[in-house]
Amino acid sequence: MTRQVVLDTETTGLESSEGHRIIEVGAIELKDRRLTGRRFHRYLNPDREIDAAAIEVHGITNAMLADKPHFADIAAELLAFIEGAELLIHNAAFDAGFLNAELARARAQGCVLPVAAIEECCTIQDTLRLARTLHPGQKNSLDALCRRYSIDNSQRVVHGALLDAEILTDVYLAMTGGQMAMFGEEAAVTGAAIATAATTAEGLVCERGEPLVIMPSAEELAAHEACLETLDKKSGGRCLWRLLG
């Protein structure tokens, strides 16, 4: 079973090397590409002022965080949530850099943690790098990908770690969904029903050792060609059936 965790953070500023801190972390669990319902979401007290430019992005103020826990208070719980998973992060270097800086700070303060860096307990896939591979030369921000894949992000008036993790989950599944994403689950169910009907239909008897060959009808051939046409358009001319046919 493949376990993935879609993760995002919000911060006080752009550079962890300048002492900027994480103020929100949101994570969503997937197993075999399906939502499990498990989530991790915390707001954090950064013990420093939030840059005005950052507040314009995420709308989180110091007053909102005054009574929130510090990163060291939730570090062990976060590590337990992501342990053994593949982390999916958009622009992973940014979030991973901040997370590792926070882990280093917590350990320096005497917090006992099982790892010194998140890479020691999980793998990381940068969905921004994936998007650039799939769509070279195009805009691949989260908002741009939502437009490209017709994903509703109307609630994203400002950034938020959990909201962005939810949106990234939809984007990632759309980017990597193949035929399921193109035609939906109904098509997969219909295909399975057709296959079952073909193998159980009355009169289709296969002698032992002899393969049973069922020739497609003209309607089935036309439907197959229509599917190939859709695949070719969706993949930008990279449909393998066409390339190898």
Residues designated as active site? 159
CA distance 208 to 19: 72
Identify whether the C-beta of residue 243 lies closer than 8 Å to the C-beta of residue 195. Answer: no
Instruction: Give a three-class secondary structure readout of the chain.
Output: CCEEEEEEEEECCCCHHHCCCEEEEEEEEEECCEEEEEEEEEECCCCCCCCHHHHHHHCCCHHHHCCCCCHHHHHHHHHHHHCCCEEEECCHHHHHHHHHHHHHHHHHCCCCCCCCCHHHCCEEEEHHHHHHHHCCCCCCCHHHHHHHCCCCCCCCCCCCHHHHHHHHHHHHHHHCCHHHHHHHHHHHHHHHHHHHHHHHCCCCCCCCCCCCCCCCCHHHHHHHHHHHHHHHHHCCCCCHHHHHC
